């Protein structure tokens, strides 16, 4: 098994405030994205930075519709998964890990000033010192493996465990100052894999599998480096 690289091979570009990832054709995708969420075939993934406006309903009453319109404006006319974040794309982090012919890549934007602990009572918005707060962890995980439906769900589970482990290792507290933040209130995750028969088959992807190991490693690496960038952002904007 090779080490983790910060260079990915999946085609992508950052156009203004938007990360545009080309999957190189139709892929099977499972996500919690506002546009194209659930199980959905797709050929592109967008991660779009929006202005954070705490204390209001914001300018996006229908995020899915907004993201579909954005995709059209960017010339992405085929199936698209769309995410939103207040984290600037200058804080984008990437990682790649491989074992033999199998590889997994991760794209992530990390903001944690909206950090919460699973089970906390939901709050509408968080505002500090009158400034906008970027507080979302968006994870986009891509593999050349062909995962079963169960394995795609398993990959989400492993990615979540790796994210929470990185938050714990870095001592991230909730926005209220309590220890043990497990994520933010607006996190999203995307798993994209090859169509059935077009990649190495993987019926499972738990932490006892090579697939799960690769997912865990790239996510932990991205979240850890993303947290460092988020900390720098917070210092600069205090």
Which pLDDT does position 153 carry in this prediction? Answer: 98
Sign of CA dihedral 206, 207, 212, 218: positive
Task: Return all residues near 193 (Cβ < 8 A) that are at least 6 apart.
Answer: 27, 28, 29, 142, 143, 144, 145, 146, 147, 152, 199
Which pLDDT does position 236 carry in this prediction? Answer: 75
State the pLDDT confidence band at 178, using cuts at 50, 70 and 90. Answer: confident
State the pLDDT confidence band at 132, using cuts at 50, 70 and 90. Answer: very low
State the pLDDT confidence band at 166, using cuts at 50, 70 and 90. Answer: very high
**Average pLDDT across the chain, whole number:** 89
State the pLDDT confidence band at 94, using cuts at 50, 70 and 90. Answer: very high
Q: Using alpha carbons only, give the angle 65, 196, 29 rounded to the nearest 5 degrees.
A: 25
- Is CATH 3.20.170 correct for 11-237? no
Which pLDDT does position 114 carry in this prediction? Answer: 85
CA torsion, points 205, 209, 214, 216, in degrees to nearest 10? 70
Q: How far apart are CA 133 and CA 234, in angstroms?
A: 9
Which pLDDT does position 192 carry in this prediction? Answer: 98
Helix ranges (DSSP H) in the chain? 63-73, 149-169, 210-237
Which pLDDT does position 129 carry in this prediction? Answer: 44
pLDDT at 128 over 90: no
Highest-confidence segment of 43-52, 78-87, 205-214: 205-214
Which pLDDT does position 161 carry in this prediction? Answer: 97
Which pLDDT does position 134 carry in this prediction? Answer: 58
């Amino acid at each position: 098994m090779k080490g983790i690289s910060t260079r990915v091979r999946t085609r992508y570009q950052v156009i203004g405030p938007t990360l545009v990832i080309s999957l190189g054709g139709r892929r099977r995708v499972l996500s919690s994205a506002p546009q194209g969420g659930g199980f959905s075939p797709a050929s592109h993934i967008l991660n779009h930075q929006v202005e954070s406006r705490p204390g209001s309903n914001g300018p996006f009453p229908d995020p899915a519709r907004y993201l579909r319109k954005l995709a059209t404006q960017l010339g992405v006319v085929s199936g698209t998964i769309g995410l939103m974040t207040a984290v600037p794309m200058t804080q984008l982090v990437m990682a790649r890990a491989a074992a033999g012919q199998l590889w997994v890549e991760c794209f992530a934007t990390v903001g944690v000033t909206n950090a919460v602990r699973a089970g906390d009572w939901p709050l509408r918005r968080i505002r500090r010192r009158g400034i906008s707060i970027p507080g979302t962890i968006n994870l986009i995980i891509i593999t050349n493996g062909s995962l079963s439906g169960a394995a795609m769900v398993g990959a989400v589970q492993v990615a979540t465990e790796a994210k929470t482990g990185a938050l714990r290792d870095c001592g991230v507290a909730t926005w209220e100052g309590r220890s043990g933040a497990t994520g933010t209130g607006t996190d999203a995750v995307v798993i994209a894999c090859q169509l059935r028969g077009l990649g190495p088959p993987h019926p499972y992807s738990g932490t006892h599998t090579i697939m799960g190991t690769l997912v865990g490693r790239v996510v932990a690496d991205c979240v850890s480096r993303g947290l460092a960038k988020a900390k720098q952002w917070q210092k600069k904007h205090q």
